[in-house]
Amino acid sequence: MKEKICTLVVLLCAFWLVGCANTGGGGTPEGGDVVGPDYRNSRAEVVVLSFFDMYCPVCQRSADEVNELYGMARKQGGRIAFYAIGKNNTPMEADTYRKRFNVPFPVVADRQLTVASRFGSFKAPMVIALRRQGGDWKEFYRANPHETKVDEMYARIQP
């Protein structure tokens, strides 16, 4: 009986470890582990990337401001797209943030900083707005949503 229980415990542990190892997504062409939609495929005129870290209290406090900014931008009829990027977060952490703070737009896990590293060094929270120039997206605005009024950010991210 003890042997059967031991075998069962070992099997359960093995299944648990395999489940934890699966982060839910493939890789990127750059070799990172970004999990979620790719902002570079957006058809919007402006893409706003809202960087957060689930464990950052300032990011948590600024989530309402970013959600409000998104609500204002929705009135543009799809001309402005939003993506929340979990800087150094796993897919599970990014999804927890999405649920806890009711993020109404796509949330992307960026565990290896594949997306974040494209924009130099910065601390989360950070809102970065991009416009398409040629075949690529170029940054034209950056602000800390905790330190910048929503109306000011909204005025600056217009197409």
Domain 28-156 CATH (choose: 3.40.50.720, 3.40.309.10, 2.70.98.30, 3.40.30.10):
3.40.30.10
- CA distances from residue 81 to 6, 149, 159 in whole angstroms, order as listed: 52, 19, 11
Q: Which two tokens stand for residue 152?
A: 């000011």
Give the rounded distance of the alpha carbon of 2 from its chain centre.
Answer: 47
Calculate what percentage of the chain has a pLDDT beyond 90: 67
Q: What share of the chain is helix, strand, coil (3-state, %, to 5)?
A: 40, 25, 35
User: Does the pLDDT of residue 14 top 80, yes or no?
Assistant: no
Tell me phi and psi for residue 127, to 5 degrees: -110, 125
104 beta partners: none
| Verdict on whether the full-model pTM lies above 0.75 | yes
Find the helix or strand (DSSP H, E) in which 19 lies.
helix 2-21
Which tens digits make up the pLDDT trace of 60-77?
Answer: 999 999 999 999 999 878
Higher pLDDT, 133 or 38: 133
DSSP character for 123?
Answer: P
Residues 32, 64: Cα–Cα separation, whole Å: 29
Which tens digits make up the pLDDT trace of 80-122?
Answer: 999 999 999 999 999 999 999 999 999 999 999 999 999 998 9
Domain segments of the chain as ranges: 28-156
At residue 40 the predicted structure's pLDDT band, cuts being 50, 70 and 90, is: confident
128 beta partners: 49, 142
